[in-house]
Structure formats: C-alpha cells, structure tokens
Copies of this chain bind each other. A is one copy, B any other.
C-alpha cells in the first residue's frame, strides 16, 4: 500500500485514477450523458493502463527472463485487448476492426514518429541498433501483410462470399498465432541477443513485490473491463456529438487511449537517447496487435460475440496499415534518425487523421 502511494506521488498520471469512481458514479446517475461518460472513461482508462503496464513488468521481472518475457509480450497490449473484448461483446465489429487497424497505424506512425521527434529535438543525430530494428520492422511488415492479404484478395474479387471470408479468417487466425508463438521462441529463447537493446525495458522504476503486482494485475484488469464497457457504449454517440466520424473515433481516439501507457515509456526512452527501447516498444506493440490480439479476437468472437467476426478490413484501413508499415521499414532501415524523420512520420499520421475526420459517416 505504501508502495502504491509512493507510486502515486511519483507518477502524476496516476492522479487521474480519481476518475475511475467518478465514471461509475456518472454512469449510475446519468446513463444518457454519453459525451460526459465518454470523456470520463477516457480519463479513467489512461491511468489504469499505466498501472497495468507497471504491474505486468513487475511480475515479469520477478519470474525470470523467459516466463517474464512471455508475460510482457502477451500482456503488453492488455488494455487494447480488454477494450476490444468489450466492443466485441457489444457486437460493434466495425469499432473493433477500426481499433485494431488504428492501433497498428498509431504505434508505427504516432508513437515511433513522436519518439524520433522528441529524441531528435534533444540530440542532433540519434543512432540505434539497426539489426534489431530491421528485424522488428520486417516482422511487423510481414505480420501486417498477413493481416491484409485476405481483405485485399477478397476485396479485389467481390464474387467471394461471406462463408469464404469467415472460414479464411479462422484459418488465418490460427496461422498468425502460430507465427506469434514462433516469434516469441525466437526473441526469447533462440536469438535473444538480437533484441538486446529493446528488452531492457523501463529500468529505473523499482518493481513491485509479487503479491502486490499480481493483485494489481487482477484488480486493474477488472476495472479496465468495467470502464471499457462504459467507453464502448458511449463512444458512438459522443463521436456524433463532437462531429467525429466513427472511423476517426475507432482509428485515432481509441488507439491513442489504448496505447497511452506504452507511449509514455517510448517517449521517455527517446528523451534519454535510448531509441532502441522506443523503436522496440512501438514496432513490437504493433506486431503484437497484428499477430496476437487480432487473431485472438476472431477466435473469441465465436464464444462471446453475437455472430462470428472476420478479418476483413475496410479498404481505406488496408491502405493505411500498409503505408504505415512501409514507412516504418524505410525509416528504421538506416539505424540513424534526426528530428525531421519524426516529423515525416507524424505528418503521415496527421494526413490519415485528417482524412478520417473529414470522412462522411457510413463509409468506414
């Protein structure tokens, strides 16, 4: 408890935890105030995501390298997963898919671009381990390709029916999870030295004792799940009130909220000239979404969704995912960076955000 309080003092972000009870109170008192509920649930999710991230790392630090790495890799996108599950249960498949595609785009363009810009404003030229960055960019490229092939192929051939898409989605989900498992075997067991730079994690923050970490992990996951439900219920109508298209909300707003905790550590890594950490978090998180979160959601949709979900994305989302991963590949290719490289990535992100914001409803 003292540790938690100390954490509260150090980490200003956690003061936002006060919004957790507020959001539940508001939901009971004013269940129709969608815009208010939306804002409150965003404010409540951000500190919960930070707690979740710290708890995961603490458990990982205690359990030793292999299991710890496994935990970190699997629970790293727990917030995104829980939000997506809440949307899945509500049958909001458009939102789920937009948030998956958006998370990939946000991680590779906004998180990476922001890191390179923030780092570049402090250091003239920054260097990082290009071998590990290349490996991760390549993994991300191929992961995203895997995710978008079925959409591209069946898009091109409108003859292919829903049954085809559904069967293909299940098969691909199994393949992607196998690839993900092999990827962990590769990065944790057989070739950990290639990922050395990125693994060192958020050093500096002392890990919590095991009991506290496990209790936090369990408790906070439940809280995120509860708040996510409020978030998912209110997001659609709040978006209308703000004049945002649903595509913009799923792609940009949900993704930024879900990735807030990782973003904080990627940005602070860049400011400390530890770009390996930033690149690792940004690209690793994006490929985890493509290789693990997306296929798990497809399989889980058979258990908890009203109808099964498939992996077919809206064509604009495919274009954006493809461009985002291509940009990341090109940018990380050299192992060197200066501030303008970050600006270029952020510009592409801004262009996507603007396009989505202006998109008339009913398109995505």
Residues of A within 8 A of B (CB): 124-125, 131, 134-135, 137-139, 141-142, 145-146, 149-150, 152-153, 156-157, 159-161, 164, 167-168, 171-172, 175, 178-179, 182-183, 186, 190-191, 194, 314-316, 319-320, 323, 326-327, 329-331, 333-334, 336, 338-341, 343-345, 347-348, 350-352, 354-355, 358-360, 362-364
Contacts and interface: CB of A to CB of B under 8 A. Distances in A.
A341 B159 CA distance: 34
27 contacts: A131-B336, A138-B331, A139-B340, A141-B327, A142-B327, A146-B347, A149-B352, A152-B316, A153-B320, A153-B359, A156-B315, A157-B314, A157-B359, A157-B363, A157-B364, A159-B360, A160-B363, A161-B360, A164-B360, A171-B358, A175-B347, A175-B350, A179-B344, A190-B338, A191-B340, A329-B330, A333-B333
Given A159-B362, A160-B359, A171-B354, A338 B149 contact: no
A327 to B, nearest CB: 6
B138 A315 contact: no
A247 to B, nearest CB: 10
Contacts of A319: 149, 152-153, 156
B159 A347 contact: no
Nearest to A362: B159
Given A142-B347, A145-B327, 9 more contacts: A138-B341, A146-B348, A149-B352, A157-B359, A160-B359, A164-B359, A175-B350, A190-B340, A191-B338
Contacts of A164: 358-360
A168 B138 contact: no
A149 B351 contact: yes
B131 A354 contact: no
Contacts of A191: 124-125, 338, 340
Contacts of A152: 316, 319
A340 B141 CA distance: 14
Q: Which applies to chain A's interface (DSSP): helix, strand, loop or mixed?
A: helix
Contacts of A150: 351, 355
B175 A351 contact: yes
A340 B185 CA distance: 9
Given A171-B354, A363-B159, A338 B142 contact: no
Given A149-B352, A319-B149, A336-B131, A344 B139 contact: yes
A171 to B, nearest CB: 5
B334 A131 contact: yes
Contacts of A138: 330-331, 341, 344
Contacts of A326: 141, 145
A323 B318 CA distance: 13
A351 B172 contact: yes
A239 to B, nearest CB: 17
A143 to B, nearest CB: 8
A316 B157 CA distance: 7
Contact of A358 (B167, B336, B340, B355): B167
Contacts of A183: 340
Residue among A146, A194, A345, A351 with most chain B CB within 10 A: A351
Max chain B C-beta neighbours (<10 A), residue from A182, A343, A344, A345: A344
A339 B159 CA distance: 38
A297 to B, nearest CB: 18
Contact of A182 (B160, B175, B340): B340
